Amino acid sequence: MTDRIGVGNGEPLLFIAGPCVIENREVLFEAAEFLTELSKRHSINLVFKSSFDKANRSSLSSYRGPNIGEGLKILSEVKEKFGLPLLSDIHEKWQVKDAARVLDILQIPAFLCRQTDLLLAAGETGKAVNIKKGQFMYVPGRYVQQRRESEKHG
């Protein structure tokens, strides 16, 4: 999956875990420390996930996260201190390059799984891309095929 993370073929089970959204640096570091210890104790692969922006909130007044600049800075500090691979949501094509500098895996939220330009931009980074698929979108193999086609264009 990445240079640091293997999936399948005898690899330990992979967990993606962490706070849904970056509330603040203290909470994020506390969660990272706990999950790091847990992953070492149980010999599991762990990818630390927290979002710098939750753009899919049901209320405009809900907290969305710090923003891409501050969020990636904090996530980078987590990576440096705990040695954890990182995953976060990306919502717009302009976020891809900055996010790819810090994150090991780029995640496409379910509600954006059909945004071709975003998928192509994420794929062009060479990073692993986790595409969450909305349950309303069941078309077997479509997104895997689209990802493979993007490799032909790059």
Q: Is the Cα dihedral 85, 64, 26, 19 positive or negative?
A: negative
Asked if residue 8 belongs to a domain, the reply is: no
Are 6 and 47 within 8 A, CB to CB? Answer: no
Asked if residue 4 belongs to a domain, the reply is: no
pLDDT digits (tens, 9 = 90+) for 8-23: 788 777 899 999 999 9
pLDDT exceeds 90 at position 148:
no
Find the CATH number of the domain harbouring 130. Answer: 3.20.20.70
pLDDT at 111: 85
Are 48 and 84 within 8 A, CB to CB? Answer: yes
pLDDT at 135: 65
Domain range for 60: 14-153
pLDDT at 95: 97
Asked if residue 3 belongs to a domain, the reply is: no
- Token output for 149: 């086609």
pLDDT (average), residues 78-88:
96
pLDDT at 138: 62
Length of the chain counted residue by residue: 154
pLDDT exceeds 70 at position 137:
no
Question: In percent, how much of the chain has pLDDT > 70?
Answer: 88
Give me the number of domains the chain comprises.
1
Asked if residue 1 belongs to a domain, the reply is: no
